[in-house]
Amino acid sequence: MTAPLLAVQTEDGIARFMRIRRQTLALCAGLSPEDLLVQSMPDASPGKWHLAHTTWFFEQFVLGHDPAYRSPNPAWYYLFNSYYESVGPMHARPQRGLISRPTLEQIRDYRSRIDEAVGELIVQGIDATLAARIELGLQHEQQHQELLLTDIKHAFWCNPLHPVYRDAPAVVAERKPLSMRFLPGREGPVDIGHPAGNGFAYDNETPRHRTWLPAHALANRLVTNGEYLAFIREGGYREASLWLSDGWATVQREGWQRPLYWQEDLSSEFTLAGVRALEPQAPVCHLSYFEADAFARWAGARLPTEAEWEDAAANVSMTGNFQEDHRFHPTITPHGDGLQQMYGDVWEWTASAYVSYPGFKTLPGALGEYNGKFMNGQWVLRGGSCATPRDHIRASYRNFFPPHARWQFAGIRLGQDR
Ligand SMILES: [Fe+2]
């Protein structure tokens, strides 16, 4: 083996590869083959497809890096390619739920075979390019773990039986809520973006660059269910002046009156642990950008920009409620000084459009399609959620979704000018 260039080339790196791959299967424990085949909407994918697509990623970009590699199932490339136009055609995304063959058992076998082959490759010795591709494959796997959870949540919500994914203790407040306070952020020139040579980052987090922050403040905690309920009760969904034009059109067209998984009685919500009483002190989630923006306007505030968020988050400990906590639901804000729940619980919508940083360059080749081509019509979210693996998040991480998307664990932190 050549000298280790990335963590994945070390003994620990191999263990990490296997741990992350196994974790995806662990998230599927208790789900039936039928659960894993269902596709509840074009934006969501079946669990089985996630299991296969993440495996295809390693086959295509790691094993396939060797020109002599021949896949035993070349037809599966078409089924499990997501959006990489430069490596070949792909099955239509809205029809992923129709892929009953290969069977779930064949997909599990596919995962084992590819894991074994990639593991052998790591042991034999890999160069920096391959090490970087394996690392990207693992980060990609972790992104799909979160999608697997949000997609099965949507599928179970669509089922009138409202099945339970994993039982978990109900979130119940035991003391008065932490009052919302606005904490001043830095004003003036700051650097944001991932510092080169400081571990893994996606291309869209680079290059680190200078930007200017206006006088501003960020709320010390997330917006709660109780606060969002007040917005609803005061007619938030009926007042056009609170909404962006596209947001108001979406409210009208979709008949939105409350967050995605709230029940009509406004006192309970669907969670991955089934229908639960709405806890007023827990952070509100499953909101679109449009709803987050309208709420902020109603509250006399605004959403933070991603630069304001990142500059503040860089000095906050990366603790929080993540996938490893097995709650799969946001928890009540802990009492404390400073910014609370910056990481975990819910992704925080920002006021920043998802565009390239100055000097941005995509990765070379097909992997340049990973992020860059989505830089239009979407908004940046920060901080990770209760479905994000703990070692997947960082201050510079830029998640992005279209402004109408509601099925992710997305919520609100308010910001304001000073
Ligand atoms: Fe993917």
CATH number assigned to the domain comprising residue 62:
1.20.120
Q: Say yes or no: 218 and 349 in one domain.
A: yes
Domain range enclosing 325: 182-417
Q: Say yes or no: 41 and 142 in one domain.
A: yes
Dump pLDDT digits (tens) for 204-219: 999 999 999 999 999 9
- pLDDT-derived band at 8 (thresholds 50, 70, 90) equals low
Q: Say yes or no: 20 and 110 in one domain.
A: yes
- pLDDT-derived band at 7 (thresholds 50, 70, 90) equals low
The answer to whether position 154 is within a domain reads yes
**In angstroms, what is the span from residue 195 Cα to ligand 1's centroid?**
25
- pLDDT-derived band at 171 (thresholds 50, 70, 90) equals confident
User: Both tokens of residue 20?
Assistant: 């992350």
What is each CA distance from 158 to 34, 38, 104, 248, in whole angstroms?
14, 11, 22, 24
Q: Say yes or no: 75 and 197 in one domain.
A: no
Dump pLDDT digits (tens) for 112-163: 999 999 999 998 889 999 999 999 999 999 999 999 999 999 999 999 999 9
In this prediction, residues 232-236 reach a mean pLDDT of: 98
**In angstroms, what is the span from residue 53 Cα to ligand 1's centroid?**
7
Instruction: Count up the domains in the chain and report the number.
Output: 2
The answer to whether position 4 is within a domain reads no
Q: Say yes or no: 84 and 130 in one domain.
A: yes
The answer to whether position 163 is within a domain reads no
Crossing angle of helices 47-61 and 128-158, in 10° steps, is: 170
In this prediction, residues 21-25 reach a mean pLDDT of: 98
**In angstroms, what is the span from residue 139 Cα to ligand 1's centroid?**
10
In this prediction, residues 9-19 reach a mean pLDDT of: 81
In this prediction, residues 371-380 reach a mean pLDDT of: 96
Q: Say yes or no: 152 and 259 in one domain.
A: no
Q: Say yes or no: 230 and 374 in one domain.
A: yes
**In angstroms, what is the span from residue 144 Cα to ligand 1's centroid?**
7
Q: Say yes or no: 302 and 386 in one domain.
A: yes
Residue 355 has pLDDT above 50, yes or no: yes
CB count, 10 Å around CB of 417? 9
**In angstroms, what is the span from residue 249 Cα to ligand 1's centroid?**
30
Residue 6 has pLDDT above 90, yes or no: no
**In angstroms, what is the span from residue 142 Cα to ligand 1's centroid?**
10
Q: Say yes or no: 145 and 210 in one domain.
A: no
Q: Say yes or no: 151 and 253 in one domain.
A: no
- Edge-to-edge order in the sheet of strand 379-382: 399-401, 379-382, 347-353, 410-411
Closest CA to 297 of 376, 180, 412, 179: 412
The answer to whether position 98 is within a domain reads yes
What is the rounded average pLDDT for all residues in the chain?
95
**In angstroms, what is the span from residue 61 Cα to ligand 1's centroid?**
12
- Cis-peptide, bond into residue 402, ω within 30° of zero: no
Q: Say yes or no: 136 and 218 in one domain.
A: no
335: left (phi over 0), alpha (psi -120 to 50) or beta: beta
Q: What is the CATH number of the domain that holds 382?
A: 3.90.1580.10
